Structure 1
Amino acid sequence: MFIYLHGFASSPQSAKAQDISQRFAQLQIPVQVPDLNAGDFSHLTISRQLNQVATEFADSSAPITLIGSSLGGLTAAHLAQKYPQVQRLVLLAPAFGFLSHWLVKLGEAEIQRWQQDKYLMVYHYGEKQHLPLHYDFLTDASQYQEEDLQRPVPTLILHGNHDEVIPISASRDFVRSRPWTELIELDSDHSLGNATSAIWQAIYSFCFGS
């Protein structure tokens, strides 16, 4: 079973989700792409994403490959830590340490305003408009730490060395102490939009052999 997890403020209609789904379809392999917005982006949390995706694990004996982009990649990694049926990970610009990177850009005053007002307006790329996000997203996310990700699941990470959202150093740090992981650095930014062919070649080789 293959499941693709889209990124933060994105959707199953994202360019990467569509491209990867179409390429798997050419191999006659279905890919599940759940909508992690769940019709309520404003109350999104990582915990909700984990619970939602876990319901897709209908047959506990079926091996699962998770492909996750950005926050979807972070979610995939935590699912693999918890569920032994997840036997392979492909992480595209995974959002390791994303709170530290994101909160610095927001600034202390904006964070305090978010806590006080309970909602922060965030641009949602899937909806193409600003939507409110509850402060619970931040408090929930703070409990998920990369240090907890120690289950040796074969993992392929693809990350752009010009990533302006999650620096590639986050993935470099992650693989340094985890010999079961492989990092491919791409000449790209966070969207990896110019690297779709390279991404697919890497996924195909990792999942099906060269």
Structure 2
Amino acid sequence: MNWEYIYLHGFASSPNSLKANYLRDRFSQIQIPLTIPDLNQSDFTHLTMTRQLRQVAATFPPSPTPVTLIGSSFGGLASAWLGETQLQCQKLVLLAPAFTFLDLWLSALGEQTVEIWRREGFLPVYHYGSKRSLPLSYNFVTDLKQYPETKIQRQIPTLIIHGINDEVIPIQASRDFAASRPWVKLIEQQSDHSLANVLPEIWQEISTFCQLSNF
């Protein structure tokens, strides 16, 4: 049976990110399509985890075609939730997944900024895909609070690749996630959050994990 491969880019990123383009090229070389949806949907302002999960689930092929999700950062967190809720999802590859994202971000913003955001409804966020600041609705926060990571418990093969020098999502978040889930394999790399210096290593791990050498 043919598998479907879907890549989910990170928060405030786009389908034209470095990792997205790199993996698109690698999959193309072995003649396997890699679907990369634009999770911004031309409306970053009203992005929520719920909207993102619905959007990606709608791109799934007809059942029972199995799906492998490859997610980067916030796309990795979304992938983990899709693995929990979508039975067609049979494998996960999570690149520096954004576990504990909300707590880390709100703490970094500080109570005063968060309160202004809540009161005014929108916060300017630099969007790397658009190369400019865009407003983000506070609904992003209230929606994400519905998704505690402790509820991600479905036992499907999961590969996590995380940089030990990650300055955005500390590697301890992935260590903690993997420690209580024996079906999760964590590979630590000498890299930061971008993982930009270990792209060939990432591709090798994905190829092995997904058995792409058979194609």
What's the TM-score bracket when you normalise by the shorter of the two chains? over 0.9
- Determine helix, strand or coil for the equivalent of 1:195: helix
- Determine helix, strand or coil for the equivalent of 2:207: helix
Which structure 2 segments of 5+ residues have no match? Answer: none
- Determine helix, strand or coil for the equivalent of 1:122: strand
**Among 111, 115, 118, which residue is 1:112 paired with?**
115
Q: CA deviation at 1:191?
A: 0.6
Q: CA deviation at 1:60?
A: 1.7
- Determine helix, strand or coil for the equivalent of 1:194: helix
- Match for residue 192 of structure 1? 195
- Match for residue 165 of structure 1? 168
- Match for residue 143 of structure 2? 140
- Match for residue 92 of structure 1? 95
- Match for residue 176 of structure 1? 179
Whole-Å separation in 2 of the counterparts to 1:29 and 1:134 = 37
- Determine helix, strand or coil for the equivalent of 2:196: coil
Whole-Å separation in 2 of the counterparts to 1:30 and 1:193 = 22
Whole-Å separation in 2 of the counterparts to 1:191 and 1:205 = 21
Whole-Å separation in 2 of the counterparts to 1:168 and 1:64 = 26
- Determine helix, strand or coil for the equivalent of 2:166: coil
Given residue 125 of structure 2, which amino acid in structure 1 is its aligned partner?
A: V
Normalization by structure 2: what TM-score?
Answer: 0.96
Q: CA deviation at 1:58?
A: 3.1
Q: When the two structures are aligned, how many residues end up with a matched partner? A: 210
For 1:13-24, what aligned pairs fall within 5 Å after superposition?
13-24=16-27
Is structure 2 residue 32 aligned with structure 1 residue 9?
A: no
Q: CA deviation at 1:57?
A: 1.4
* Runs of at least 4 residues off by over 2 Å: none
- Match for residue 50 of structure 1? 53
Whole-Å separation in 1 of the counterparts to 2:167 and 2:104 = 10
Which structure 1 segments of 5+ residues have no match? Answer: none
Given residue 49 of structure 2, which amino acid in structure 1 is its aligned partner?
A: I
Instruction: Using the TM superposition, name which of 1-10 and 53-62 deviates more.
Output: 53-62
* Percent identity for Structure 1 against Structure 2: 58
Whole-Å separation in 1 of the counterparts to 2:175 and 2:184 = 10
**Among 82, 86, 96, which residue is 1:83 paired with?**
86
Given residue 151 of structure 1, which amino acid in structure 2 is its aligned partner?
A: R
Q: CA deviation at 1:42?
A: 0.3
Q: CA deviation at 1:145?
A: 1.0
Whole-Å separation in 2 of the counterparts to 1:65 and 1:14 = 19
Whole-Å separation in 2 of the counterparts to 1:63 and 1:208 = 14
Given residue 159 of structure 2, which amino acid in structure 1 is its aligned partner?
A: L
Q: Deviations over 1:33-91 (max 9, x none)?
A: 00000010000000000000010113120000000000000000000101111000000
Given residue 158 of structure 2, which amino acid in structure 1 is its aligned partner?
A: T
- Match for residue 206 of structure 1? 209
